[in-house]
Amino acid sequence: MTSPDRLMAAGMPAGQATQIGTDSSYALTATGSTKAGALQLVARNNMMSTVAASTGVILPTAEASPPVTIYNGGAQTLSVYAFGTLDTINVLSAGAAFSIAAGVNVIFMPVRKSATVLGWVANLSA
């Protein structure tokens, strides 16, 4: 099966590409110290193996997306950003980072917060 990033490069909408693309990405390395430089996630299940201080990832758009899981297998706290300028995570403002401590797994559930605002609800493991 092809990956969502290749499907999107061919012109498929992100939500559709995420739903039919690869289910898992392993041994990922978080990048960037801000949202602008963070790694864009394309799989439903993501295992971070390298997380340096102040690095992060970006969730796919919440619109038509399946739940997304992230496991932080790195040594530092991982910053997770919502896609675009309107998507949010929990009650954070758009653009704010959600933090995942080392060794923690989080399930992000897509939600519609209003007629125009989409977002994610995060469920952390113990």
Residues 48 and 57 sit within 8 Å (Cβ to Cβ): yes
Q: Binning pLDDT at 50, 70 and 90, where does residue 1 land?
A: very low
User: What is the reported pLDDT for 21?
Assistant: 60
For all residues of the chain together, what is the average pLDDT? 88
Residue with tokens 């909408």: 13
Residue 10 has pLDDT above 60, yes or no: yes
Residue 41 confidence (pLDDT) above 80: yes
Q: What is the pLDDT of residue 20?
A: 64
| Identity at 36, one-letter amino acid code | A
Query: Which residues lie below 8 Å from residue 23, measured CB to CB, with a gap of 6+?
Result: 43, 44, 45
- Condensed to tens digits (0 to 9), the pLDDT of residues 87-106 reads 999 988 888 999 999 999 99
Question: What is the arithmetic mean of pLDDT over 115-125?
Answer: 88
Higher pLDDT, 78 or 118: 78
Which H or E element spans position 119? strand 118-124
For residue 23, give the nearest of 44, 47, 46 by alpha carbon. 44
Say if strands 39-40 and 56-58 run parallel, antiparallel, or are unpaired. parallel
Q: Taking the CB of residue 91, how many other CB atoms lie within 10 A of it?
A: 9
pLDDT recorded at residue 115: 80
- Strand ranges of the sheet holding 98-100, from the earlier edge strand across to the other edge: 39-40, 56-58, 78-81, 98-100
Task: Give yes or no for residue 4 having a pLDDT over 80.
Answer: no
Entry pTM: 0.81
Distance CA 48, CA 25 (A): 9
pLDDT, residue 120, reads 95
Per-residue pLDDT at 50: 94
Report whether pLDDT(125) > 80: yes
